[in-house]
Amino acid sequence: MDKNALSPTDIAGGVDDHLLKTVGVAPAQATPTELMQAVAQVAREQLSRRWVATQARERNEQARRVYYLSMEFLIGRTLGNALAALDLGEGATAAAQQHAQKLEDVADREPDAALGNGGLGRLAACFLDSMATLGLPSFGYGIRYEYGMFAQDIQNGCQVEYPDPWLANGTPWEFPRSGVSYPVRFGGWVEHHGDKALWRNAAEVAAKAHDMVIPGHGTNKVSTLRLWKAVAPAHIDLHAFNTGDYARAAGVKNEYENISWVLYPNDSTPAGRELRLRQEYFFVAASVQDILGRHLEEHGTLANLADKVAMHLNDTHPAIAVAELMRVLCDEHGMAWATAWGITQRVFSYTNHTLMPEALETWPVALMQHVLPRHLEIIFRINQDFLDFAAKFRPGDMGFLARLSLIDESGERRVRMANLSIVGSHKVNGVSALHSDLLVKTIFADFAALWPDRFTNMTNGVTPRRWLAQANPGLAGLLDRTLGAKWRLDLDQLQALRDQRGNAAFREEFMAIKRANKARLAEHIARTTGIAVDPASLFDVQVKRIHEYKRQLLNLLHVVSRYQAILAHPNAGWVPRTVIFAGKAASSYAMAKNIIRLIHDVGQVVNRDPRVAGLLKVVFIPNYGVSVAEVIMPGADLSEQISTAGTEASGTGNMKLALNGALTIGTDDGANIEIRQNVGDDNIFIFGLKTPEVVSLRAAGYQPMRYYESNPQLKQVLDAIAGGAFSPEEPGRYRGLVDSLLWGGDHYLLLADYGTYVETQLRVDALYRQSGEWASRAIANVAGMGAFSSDRTIREYAQQIWGMTPAP
Ligand code: 26Q
């Protein structure tokens, strides 16, 4: 494929060369970390070649490009993926062997690039992988956070957060582009001279580009992730510096550079913090300058911008780009407002990732006036034009206009970033069929009435390279032997596995691989929690951010029920289970942190009770992230996707788990519905209220107490938790948590779904006892997951939203 492909000898030689010259150690004495750095350098050189070639080609072709604007890219580790994409895996394995090391241990030394919170950030990383693989001319744009997602430690059962200094030892993967730097301005005021607006800013910071090269698989093409670092302008507070007041000079420098210091956690409610707004504008302003600069270099005019540039908004976090592009086109390039607006709407598209109204991003008008005075003016003008148009659609309907307005006028005036994104885009999408349907029926119904064709669906996907080939080499090997290697680039080929469901030898091999993956996961659990779990037990897995709507607490109610039921009926032939949780709680989200603590407290009691030994274990794996997920996904038997129907936009962990042969127990929510359609009703456990039933139950006046009073099993569970059975040293510890269910309205309807959930878990047991049947259904899950490759998702975006045709 690659005429520059390196032989194993070249690779081993390159590694030794880099150990000596780049890392600075004697090759014979290299530690695993040093070896990791040297192997990375060998890959880096090849990436660099591909980057230069790709850029030259796209420039020559004057290609249309897509720019994916995202505050988050949850990349994880790069080495394993880069070696696979560059076809250097075997050579690197051999090179490591020459140093008496295993490549797996070497790769383990790389820190995760955790520049994201969860699903949205990881989706952006999967999309980059697919854009590169499909050869789509593309850039990701984001922030080079000095500190990524916090590291989670558990102390006495409680989450403790530590900073994530992922750059402390440098990273071999970035290319600092010293020549690519743009000024980004903040604050001040606006002067109007005739019809000209002049923004007199108060402050300015430099945005410096740091690129990560994203290799495509099965192609020499790459994509670029360009991350911006904030750097104080050189002249900053020269006076303090010259008078020897270094502390003050450093303080001023920090005030500028803190913009790219740390990733904001996804709080239960979005924080209205000024620094977050500065972050959003900072990376948008730098990206827009970079994009327009490249366009002008290649085309010499902005008139054809929309023919050559697509900019995608990953949620509303970069929505200020709509106002920024208008500002640059009108104020800096003298374009007429209407012309600029036509271009802007053709350039932008927007993905929404949440239905929950309280999670929609808004900024106080007063804050925006202070930080971005010119942008606020532009937003007001966009709003005026828009409301004039909308008023003709439903004359006299003031409620309609108030809901559509870019400004929320109830209470403290706020800018609605979702409204700005919709008005400024030609396409708006949700991330699963149900979610996209609910968007136009609920939070965006008024916009859908105006512009029905603007709204569409793009069901999420995950990259099979990381989430199957890399994470699960055992299963990947079996697939290669059965189907050939092409499934990596054409995941629909997994369909052929359906024929293997009845093949006893195949089943046996498939389950042997699952057992080995479970043994590996059990080792990870032992190492990180000190708890010994039995790989022969059913591994029941719920891994995701801790959120009330995701209902980790419902899972735990089942665990406690099962514990009590085993005690009551010890000889009922229980299927041994290990219930595995992992996930981070936002630092300010008290209820989420309390749920983590309860999981630990239940574990403390259950795991030490000899009466349930061998039948039930509860573990919480600390510091969930991409690399931990790569160990968990392949080792799961059962995937818990139990959000209240209508709350989980899509989910992507559900896809990773099913792709690795876990059966799903889940609600009729997000992408679970499409997973069911693709794997078949018999191969998934769907339970609980459906979205319309959730709506009508709430409308009828949901009374959680009724379920408590009528279900003795549920009553026993809640009484035990509330009474301190799992916190004997502080019996009242979970009174408040239980009260929030019984008296606080149980907003996410745990008690309403509890009964069917527990029943369904018994059906899971029954199937697991028939190991051949279970294997057949697990295989059916893998076979049905072709549709959930992010390659399919990106093809849809390219064709239906970005106006691009990827190579077939
Ligand atoms: C907002 C304001 C201030 C600070 C942080 C935030 C913030 C940051 C991250 C708000 C939300 C997020 C992340 C949301 C997210 O991950 N949503 C998930 O997106 C996935 C990909 O589409 C879906 O699969 C999940 O269903 C959805 O929850």
Distance 327 CA to ligand 1 centre (A): 28
Regarding the beta carbon of 123 and ligand 1, being less than 6 Å apart is answered yes
- DSSP letter at 267? -
pLDDT at position 237: 63
End-to-end CA distance of the chain, in Å?
17
* CA nearest ligand 1 atom 15, residue: 120
Residues of the chain with pLDDT under 50: 1
- Whole-number mean pLDDT of the chain? 96
Q: How far apart are the C-alpha atoms of 322 and 422, rounded to whole Å? A: 10
Among 72, 117, 149, the mutation site with the greatest number of ligand 1 atoms within 8 A of its Cβ is: 117
Regarding the beta carbon of 650 and ligand 1, being less than 6 Å apart is answered yes
Query: Which residues, 6+ apart, have CB-to-CB distance to 806 below 8 Å?
Result: 134, 135, 136, 794, 795, 798, 799
Regarding the beta carbon of 117 and ligand 1, being less than 6 Å apart is answered yes
What DSSP assignment string belongs to 648-668? Answer: -S--SHHHHHHHTTPEEEE-S
Compute the CA torsion angle 628, 631, 637, 642 (nearest 10 deg): 20
- Among candidate residues 78, 652, 760, 793, the one labeled active-site is 652
Q: Is 667 a catalytic residue?
A: no
Q: Is 413 a catalytic residue?
A: no
**Three-state secondary structure call for residue 799:** helix
Q: How far apart are the C-alpha atoms of 62 and 54, rounded to whole Å? A: 12
301 by Cβ neighbours in 10 Å (0-12 / 13-18 / 19+) ranks as exposed
Regarding the beta carbon of 459 and ligand 1, being less than 6 Å apart is answered no
pLDDT at position 269: 63
The packing angle between helices 552-568 and 590-608, to 10°, is 20
Regarding the beta carbon of 533 and ligand 1, being less than 6 Å apart is answered no
Beta-sheet pairing, 309-314 with 151-155: unpaired
pLDDT at position 509: 98
Regarding the beta carbon of 632 and ligand 1, being less than 6 Å apart is answered no
Distance 280 CA to ligand 1 centre (A): 15
The residue whose two tokens read 């006036």 is 369
Q: How many CB atoms within 10 Å of residue 98?
A: 14
Token readout for 179 is 């020549």
Token readout for 699 is 């409308």
Closest CA to 447 of 321, 360, 534, 569: 360
* CA nearest ligand 1 atom 6, residue: 266
Q: How far apart are the C-alpha atoms of 660 and 543, rounded to whole Å? A: 14
pLDDT at position 270: 61
Closest CA to 498 of 683, 670, 629: 683
- Among candidate residues 295, 550, 600, 777, the one labeled active-site is 550
Token readout for 279 is 């972050």
- Among candidate residues 466, 545, 597, 617, the one labeled active-site is 545
Is the Cβ–Cβ distance between 730 and 736 less than 8 Å? no
Q: Is 656 a catalytic residue?
A: yes
Q: How far apart are the C-alpha atoms of 413 and 398, rounded to whole Å? A: 17
Q: Which residues, in sequence order, are bridge partners of residue 229?
A: 208
Q: Is 221 a catalytic residue?
A: no
**Three-state secondary structure call for residue 550:** helix
- Among candidate residues 353, 374, 597, 676, the one labeled active-site is 353
Q: Is 3 a catalytic residue?
A: no
Q: Strands across the sheet with 348-351, in order?
A: 174-186, 203-215, 222-231, 138-143, 65-69, 309-314, 348-351, 427-430, 455-457
Query: Which residues, 6+ apart, have CB-to-CB distance to 30 below 8 Å?
Result: 19, 23, 38, 99
Element (H or E) spanning 470, and its range? Answer: none
Q: How far apart are the C-alpha atoms of 447 and 468, rounded to whole Å? A: 39
- Among candidate residues 518, 656, 676, 777, the one labeled active-site is 656
Query: Which atom of ligand 1 approaches the CA of 117 most closely?
Result: 9
